[in-house]
Amino acid sequence: METRLQYRLIHRVYYFQATLTLLFLYLGSVNMATLSIEERCAALSITEEETGGLAVPDLQESARSSDYWTLVGRFLTDRLVKFNHMQQIMASVWRPVMGMHATSLEENLFLFQFPHPKDMQRVIDDGPWSFENQTLVCAQVPPGTRPEDVVLDSVQFWIQIHGLPSMYASSEFIARIGNYVGEFVAEDPFNFGGSWRSYYRMRVKLAVDTPLKRRMKLCRKDGSTQWLTFRYERLNAFCFCCGLLGHIDKFCKKVYEEGIEPECFPYGSWMRAGARRQAKPVGAKWLLPSTGHAPVVNTGAGFTQTPLDMVTLEEAGGIQGDLKRRREDDDVMSSMREDDVLMAENMKSIDSAGLVGQARPAQ
């Protein structure tokens, strides 16, 4: 009896072990099947990502659906640009015939949209432009391209070539000079023919992260050399120390690190074309050299005046007075600005506004 009970107990133990083994095998197969399904789904989704997609619409249709020609631009400055004031100033300077829209995309990145392509092209051709003495770097947004993806790393300047002998002046040689300065774009159609000029002009694309070129050496076959100097039209803030656009020497790292003094700066305001000339007093050419005592002139009205007093009184009213006040205002404003602020040359024929120009012929 005991032997039979032991046999049944052993048989149940074996049965239980076999059942557990089968259960473990079943669960393992289920897990393997589940993992294989997940792997197959993952592989299927990756393949669908790689091979799937949507067809883009026709570029011509999408480009013309907005009916706008677009420029994207940024200013070469690390200061905050006041968008509302900026768009007012730029619109008043550009004066687009068909109007324009301006949008601030992000900090120091702006979108300018024009209903007519001629307005946009005129802005491109007549540049460079600036706001608060900071140069605008802009480019057209190609169809199908995000404005944020447009590379803004160059700006076009009209550059004057001074010191080029006329015997070497030709369109081909000017193009070679332009490629030395940057990337040659075009030459002035009035370089040759017409009246004589002391310089030649060329349109050049310059990289904003490259120092400006000051001059170039001409090497003749006989071993002699000659320097050509470059002057940039509508050149705004740039560093007199490192020659880069976008900052002045007061904020230049090179000045801080190397301790370069201003008198040793390799660049200067002379690189700007059309620099403002010093205003001379209207009556200067009539004044006698100072000898310690100014000569006295009898005015016939019971008192005497010096020639300097007469000129001062004459300038106090009329056209001369207005001219003098404008000069004084200009001097005050120029003293408030940085040394590298570009001042437009707006003095007109000072002789015609002087005392001689106002004198009437004897009757």
Q: DSSP letter string over 143-203?
A: TT--GGGS---EEEEEEEEES--TTT--HHHHHHHHHHHSEEEEE-TTSSSSS--SEEEEE
* Phi and psi angles of residue 48, each rounded to the nearest 5 degrees, phi first: -65, -35
Q: What is the pLDDT of residues 317-337, one digit of tens each?
A: 444 444 444 455 545 444 444
All structural domains of the chain, each given as residue ranges with its CATH number in brackets, are 62-148 (3.30.70.330), 154-271 (no CATH), 284-338+349-358 (no CATH)
CA 171 vs. chain centroid, Å, equals 27
**Band (27; pLDDT cuts 50, 70, 90):** low
SS3 340: coil
> What is the rounded distance in angstroms from the CA atom of residue 213 to the CA atom of residue 200?
16
Among the residue ranges 142-151, 159-168, 317-326, the one predicted with the least confidence is 317-326
Query: Residues 156, 138: contact at Cβ < 8 Å?
Result: no
Tokens of 309: 């007093």
DSSP string, 222-239: TS-EEEEEEEETT--SB-
Q: What is the mean pLDDT of the chain?
A: 75
- Least confident among 9-23, 115-129, 283-297: 283-297
Contact 78, 86 (CB under 8 A): no
What pLDDT digit, counting tens, does each position of 35-47 carry?
A: 566 666 666 666 6
Contact 345, 274 (CB under 8 A): yes
